[in-house]
Structure formats: structure tokens, C-alpha cells
Amino acid sequence: MAEVNVAHASKVCSLLRENVEQVIVGKSEVIQRTIVALMAGGHVLFEDVAGLGKTMLARALAVSMGGTFRRIQFTPDLLPTDVTGVTIYNQRDGDFEFRPGPIFANVLVADEINRTSPRTQAALLEAMAERQVTADGVTYELPNPFFVMATENPLELEGTYPLPVSQLDRFTMRLSIGYPSKDAEAEVVRRQLVRHPIEVLEPVTTAEEVHEVQWAVSHCYVDDRIYNYVISIVDQTRSWEDVEVGASPRGTIALIRSAQALAVLQGRDFVIPDDIKQLAPLCLPHRLILRPEARLRGVTASYVVADILEFTQVAEE
């Protein structure tokens, strides 16, 4: 793969953000964080009430990068093969053939992922980790890039199968779009009176170019002091008084990769401590299990990560 310089990679990220902002109004920070997760080669879990634009954000991102988009509505009766695909017998050819499922896309929305059975959840999360699907002993590679935006409604818990921490750990970040401001909501209404902006949105890059940017991100320089800083933060989540189960090494990797992506997005070829401080509250809290007595006191995982960040310093040269 040809080398991609940081200036070009940063420009691609900026073009994506500006293009998506034509559809998603007043949420520049959320869009940037989503692009950071994409360029880090990760996935995002959105916890929000319905109707805030999560699916539209994913669709706008897919259109902007000239990639394919699919959406799966997760329900209790959804089967793993409904996600990954199924092998059927073709009577005309006299042979078995694989019919790919909706997971074969550059951007996939897993809508209300907690409403399907753990078995179906596992099929999706395995594909997220391995970037491949195996059916009847045959392995099929998923498209590159492959980016999952899963959603959960935090208010409707009846009839759900909450994701265990081992599965939450597959998501690079947990984000929330939140309600728009009054001005932003008024602009959203004005833009959609005649037609939806997504209908006229044009690509500004290609899926291949996004994959090249992901490669450039993986080569962004990380100083040993940054590595030690991140490892110290994650290690403290495992021994913190209010935490029963801390973040895994996968959390360490996710935080460093996200910091690399943020650095490139901002035009730098090296990671700084502020990148870690900005992203740790997005990459770590959903990986922690708090002690019951801490939860009774109103302690949250986000509070714990904030305290650890305040307590931990970067080593001097």
C-alpha cells in the first residue's frame, strides 16, 4: 500500500466531517469522534433515545466515503444467519453457494443490538473482532473498511438482552448524540421541509482512500512515555477501590489507536497526552464493572476514569 502523508490523511478526515455536517447539524464533536473511531479501525456503540439521527449519521458517513451501507433491526427472533449470511443449494448449478448477509458492508448500523439473543449478538461481535465470517467451514473476508455503529435505547429495558462487558469490550467507544440545541433543531427542520439532505449528498472520498488513512493512522508515532501513561491509566482501573473489573488490554489498544487517529485528524504525526485525556472518557468507562456498594453511592464508571486521569501524570523525560 502506498504511503499516505499526514497532511493528506487529515484532509480526508476533514472532508468527511464537513460533508456529514451537511446532514447532521450541530453535532461536530460527535461526528469527529465517530470518524476517529472509524480511522482507528474500531466500532462505536451509541446509547441514545430514538430519533436523534444515529442511523442518518452512519448513512451520511457511508455516502461520504463512497462505501456501502446496511442497517439491521435487531429483534428477539433474529438469527445469526440473518446477519452473517447463509449457504443454500443452487438447483440450477447443482452446488451450494453462500448468500452474504447484510454484515457485508463498509458501514453497518446494528439497531437496538440489545434486543436480540446473545447468540445473534455473538455472531456480530465475532465478525467485528475477526473482520471475517465463517459459514460451513468456509471463511469470507468482510469489506475494508468495516465499521459497525450499534445502538441501544437506555430507557427501554423490557425485552432486552444487555451486552456483557466482554462484548462491550469490542466497541472502541461508547458515544451519545444527545438532543440538538434549539437553533440546530430549527435548522434541521428547515433543511428537511422539501427533501432530506442525504438525498443529494455526494461522496468526497473513497472506501479505498479511507482504508489508506487507517493504515497511515496505525503508523502515527507514539512515544514510550505515552505508552507508559496509557498503561498506567488502564492498570489503575484494575486496582481502583470502586472497581470490581477493570479495563482489558483491548481497552489499552483501543485508547492508543484512537489517540493516533485523533492526532492524524488534527494534522499531527505523533500522539500527545491531551489526546489520551480527551479520549479515555470515551474508550474506557464501558469496559468497567463497578462494585455494588460504589453503585449504591452513585459512583459511575465515568467518574472513576475522570478521577484516574486527574491522579495520573505523564512521566518527565
Q: Give me the pLDDT at residue 159, please.
A: 62
Q: What is the pTM of this model?
A: 0.92
CATH class of 220-311: mainly alpha
Q: E-strand spans in the chain?
A: 44-47, 69-73, 85-90, 95-100, 107-111, 132-135, 138-141, 147-152, 173-175, 243-245, 289-290
User: How far, in Å, CA of 129 to CA of 45, rounded?
Assistant: 14
What is the DSSP annotation of 187-235?
A: HHHHHHTTS-GGGG---SS-HHHHHHHHHHHHTSB--HHHHHHHHHHHH
> For the chain, where do the domains classified as CATH 1.10.8.80 start and end?
220-311
Nearest to 110 by CA among 147, 162, 61: 147
Q: Give me the pLDDT at residue 3, please.
A: 53
The CATH code of domain 6-214 reads 3.40.50.300
> For the chain, where do the domains classified as CATH 3.40.50.300 start and end?
6-214
Q: Are 111 and 151 in contact (CB under 8 A)?
A: yes
Q: Give me the pLDDT at residue 114, please.
A: 87
Sheet holding 173-175, edge to edge: 69-73, 107-111, 147-152, 44-47, 173-175
What does each of the 317 residues of the chain score in pLDDT, given as a tens digit? 445 589 999 999 999 999 999 999 999 999 999 999 999 999 999 998 888 889 999 999 999 999 999 999 999 999 999 999 988 878 777 788 888 999 999 999 999 998 888 888 888 888 888 899 887 788 899 999 999 999 988 776 666 777 878 788 999 999 999 899 999 999 989 888 888 899 999 999 999 999 999 999 999 999 999 999 999 999 999 999 999 999 999 999 999 999 999 999 999 999 999 999 999 999 999 999 999 999 999 999 999 999 999 999 887 65
Q: Give me the pLDDT at residue 50, please.
A: 83
Question: Three-state DSSP class for 102?
Answer: coil
Question: Three-state DSSP class for 272?
Answer: coil
